[in-house]
A = this chain, B = another copy of it.
Amino acid sequence: MAGNTFGQLFRISTFGESHGKAIGVIIDGCPPNIEIDLDFIQGELDKRKPGQSKITTQRKESDTASILSGVFEGKSTGTALALLIPNEDQRSKDYDHNKDIFRPSHADYTYQEKYGIRDYRGGGRSSARETAARVAAGAVAKLYLKQKGVEIFAHVSSAGTINSPNLPVQALSALLVIRESNIVRCADQATANEMIEMIDGVRKDGDTVGGKISCIIRNCPVGLGEPVFDKLHADLGKAMLSINAVHGFEYGSGFAGSEMKGSEHNDIFHVAEGGKPISTSTNFSGGIQGGISNGMDITFRVAFKPVATIMHNQQTVDKSGNAAEIKGKGRHDPCVVPRAVAIVEAMAALVIADHYLRQAAYQ
């Protein structure tokens, strides 16, 4: 297997390059009898698609998904479920000049060395375009988790050096309204305005900037996660780190927790008002203990580097090892993080759905 497959029981295989005919996914292990709401799937894809605002790439794709199999009379059959998303706006000519040149901090060089061949148009398989297939599959996972009452909410908590304050304790649906009301998808309106202004400035400079996404998974039952190697946070980490441009993952107290003392960090158990379930007074554990969910909110953060395609000329080398110059032209995406919110939620849904099934197997 060469890396295009994810998950044990809720398993997906994706395909598709930036400038190929289409991208798509097969879900092998979608439970049967789930209402497959194509409008919902399309809505999730719309949150990721390019051309959605002035602060993202201007490539125009409708990312229209269609179902090819695995659904009958609106419900999943339990057999292989395939979704297809045609590519529409490939401007392959934009990339002719890339044919023999390695763009800095892109995957051009590594793909060329690994495979001995690369589809250079738009980055080929290394392009973030493939994440549309993940979002489609994640939408199906979300439909499954809806039945279970699990909620997943992510938002842009940092863009560059601008950080949003910690979110108030609130229904995730309320946070979702705020998030979707601004084009940077931050759940704090004031911070969102700052971020948009900053990113627009970066865009005018032809530059790019990174950011962080914070995510909450709520109402996860106790018992998900498979120690010792498939701990829930380890699978979440792998899922997030597999997203283009991600350079870091932390959950619960994260990196800051490494500076704390045990006497400060321990989450004290108490019985929730009215009896079960047990909960904790603090949540430095981020909802996961010993790699298994404990019922508290699962919280984690994902760090994105600034993407490598900048509208400046850069010095580089070509395939023959000679000095070359890469022109600053083509598709410019000043900050991918607003669009990545949908991908983070999709990957979280895929991991939780997978672990739901794995735990169900042993009941």
Could you tell me which A residues sit within 8 Å of B by CB distance?
Answer: 1-9, 11, 13-17, 20-24, 26, 28-33, 66-70, 72, 75-82, 84, 102, 104-107, 109-111, 113-119, 124-126, 130, 158, 160-161, 202, 205, 207-212, 222-223, 225-231, 233-235, 237-239, 241-242, 247-255, 257-271, 275-276, 278, 280, 284-286, 288-294, 303-310, 312, 314-317, 321-323, 357-363
A124-B77, A126-B290, A316-B269 given as contacts; is B66 within 8 A of A226 (CB)?
A: no
Q: In the assembled complex, how far is the CB of residue A48 from the closest CB belonging to chain B, in whole angstroms?
A: 15
A-B residue pairs in contact (CB < 8 Å), sample of 17: A1-B226, A2-B11, A13-B26, A15-B68, A20-B70, A22-B69, A68-B84, A79-B124, A107-B290, A110-B290, A229-B238, A241-B249, A247-B257, A249-B249, A262-B307, A358-B361, A360-B361
| Contact call A31/B212, Cβ cutoff below 8 A | no
CA distance A198 to B67 in the complex (A): 42
Q: In the assembled complex, how far is the CB of residue A245 from the closest CB belonging to chain B, in whole angstroms?
A: 9
Other-chain residue from B78, B106, B115, B241 in contact with A289 (beta carbon distance below 8 A): B106
Report which residue of A75, A259, A268, A275 has the largest number of chain B beta carbons within 10 angstroms of its beta carbon: A259
Q: In the assembled complex, how far is the CB of residue A125 from the closest CB belonging to chain B, in whole angstroms?
A: 4
A77-B125, A207-B263, A361-B9 given as contacts; is B250 within 8 A of A248 (CB)?
A: yes
Other-chain residue from B161, B230, B238 in contact with A3 (beta carbon distance below 8 A): B230
Report which residue of A28, A248, A253, A306 has the largest number of chain B beta carbons within 10 angstroms of its beta carbon: A248
Chain B residues whose CB sits within 8 angstroms of the CB of A308 once the complex forms: 262, 265-266
| Contact call B130/A4, Cβ cutoff below 8 A | no
Chain B residues whose CB sits within 8 angstroms of the CB of A291 once the complex forms: 3, 107, 242
Chain B residues whose CB sits within 8 angstroms of the CB of A321 once the complex forms: 271, 275-276, 278
A1-B11, A3-B228, A104-B269 given as contacts; is B124 within 8 A of A304 (CB)?
A: no
| Contact call B304/A269, Cβ cutoff below 8 A | no
Other-chain residue from B231, B248, B264 in contact with A258 (beta carbon distance below 8 A): B248
A1-B8, A15-B70, A117-B75 given as contacts; is B292 within 8 A of A261 (CB)?
A: no
Q: In the assembled complex, how far is the CB of residue A286 from the closest CB belonging to chain B, in whole angstroms?
A: 7
Q: In the assembled complex, how far is the CB of residue A195 from the closest CB belonging to chain B, in whole angstroms?
A: 13
A15-B81, A81-B15, A226-B3 given as contacts; is B269 within 8 A of A102 (CB)?
A: yes
Chain B residues whose CB sits within 8 angstroms of the CB of A9 once the complex forms: 1-2, 358, 361
Other-chain residue from B4, B24, B247, B251 in contact with A250 (beta carbon distance below 8 A): B247
CA distance A13 to B69 in the complex (A): 13
A116-B33, A223-B110, A266-B308 given as contacts; is B105 within 8 A of A289 (CB)?
A: yes
| Contact call B241/A278, Cβ cutoff below 8 A | no
A14-B228, A291-B107 given as contacts; is B303 within 8 A of A250 (CB)?
A: yes
CA distance A362 to B267 in the complex (A): 34
| Contact call B116/A32, Cβ cutoff below 8 A | yes
Chain B residues whose CB sits within 8 angstroms of the CB of A286 once the complex forms: 247
Chain B residues whose CB sits within 8 angstroms of the CB of A28 once the complex forms: 1-5, 13
| Contact call A255/B212, Cβ cutoff below 8 A | yes
For the complex of A and B, the 7 pairs showing the least CB-CB separation, nearest first, are A107-B290, A3-B226, A248-B250, A208-B262, A110-B292, A15-B80, A238-B238
